[in-house]
Chains A and B, each alone.
Chain A
Amino acid sequence: DAKTTQPPSMDCAEGRAANLPCNHSTISGNEYVYWYRQIHSQGPQYIIHGLKNNETNEMASLIITEDRKSSTLILPHATLRDTAVYYCIVSGTASKLTFGTGTRLQVTL
């Protein structure tokens, strides 16, 4: 599976959009981009995934560049409850996810 690179930490003011970048320059054509988050002391929570097109759901938007070498997860109006570690994972299947070190997002007042 392709390796991902994420910034180790980011801050975001409450109510603002949080834009979390992920580089995956070695992604293969059949590999999906998955985003999960893990709030302290809880199990990981699925956020969104995509293959080529941009995706949006009730939690977030996923923007994948045309060459698929990078993506951005957007939380449109961050709240304190969005403080978590966010994992970007590239995999051909959700059955074999390899979590990297992720981005620790701190949402502040």
Chain B
Amino acid sequence: DTEVTQTPKHLVMGMTNKKSLKCEQHMGHRAMYWYKQKAKKPPELMFVYSYEKLSINESVPSRFSPECPNSSLLNLHLHALQPEDSALYLCASSQVDMGFLSTGELFFGEGSRLTVL
């Protein structure tokens, strides 16, 4: 199984809603990532978890709250988002081979397309 599964594929939410994006992998990877991709732009790194601990936060606003409940799951909790947060949210995973970092391949999911009204 070399898949990273993201749910839901599409999500529409209002600015006062609380919702969550979910990501799951069963490849035994101990690093998991959230990227954000706005339309016609490249993906941008948001968070990195390594061994279920947050290791990189790219100065993401607190309305985005990541959670890694176990080595296979990664959540992104959303609250009080703005319309400009509408984007494709990509999850990825990888092996860890250099301390808490990786040097090899990242496996990406298909993404969750978020629309904030």
The contact string, 1 if C-beta is below 8 Å from chain B, for chain A 33-70, is: 00010100011111001000000000000000000000
B107 partner, pick from A38, A42, A46, beta carbons under 8 A: A46
The contact string, 1 if C-beta is below 8 Å from chain B, for chain A 86-108, is: 01000001111111111000000
B90 near A44 with CB under 8 A, answer yes
User: Would A46 and B106 be within 8 Å (CB), given that A101-B42, A102-B42 are in contact?
Assistant: yes
Contacts of B92 in A (CB 8 A): 43-44
Does B48 reach chain A (CB closer than 8 Å)? yes
Contacts of B101 in A (CB 8 A): 93-96
| Bound CA span A94–B44, Å | 13
User: Would A95 and B50 be within 8 Å (CB), given that A43-B90, A43-B92 are in contact?
Assistant: yes
Chain A residues proximal to chain B, CB less than 8 Å? 32, 36, 38, 42-46, 49, 87, 93-102
How many cross-chain pairs have Cβ atoms below 8 Å apart between A and B?
Answer: 59
A94 partner, pick from B42, B43, B55, B103, beta carbons under 8 A: B103
| Bound CA span A97–B58, Å | 12
Report whether over half of chain B's contact residues are helix, strand or loop; otherwise say mixed.
strand
List 10 tightest A-B contacts by C-beta distance, closest first: A43-B108, A99-B42, A46-B105, A95-B101, A93-B101, A94-B102, A95-B102, A44-B108, A99-B43, A43-B110
Does B56 reach chain A (CB closer than 8 Å)? yes
Q: Which residue of A lies closest to B48 (CB)?
A: A95
B111 near A43 with CB under 8 A, answer yes
| Bound CA span A100–B104, Å | 19
16 further A-B pairs in the complex, CB-CB below 8 A; given A43-B90, A44-B106: A43-B108, A43-B110, A46-B106, A49-B105, A87-B42, A94-B94, A94-B101, A94-B102, A94-B103, A95-B56, A95-B94, A95-B100, A96-B56, A97-B45, A99-B42, A100-B42
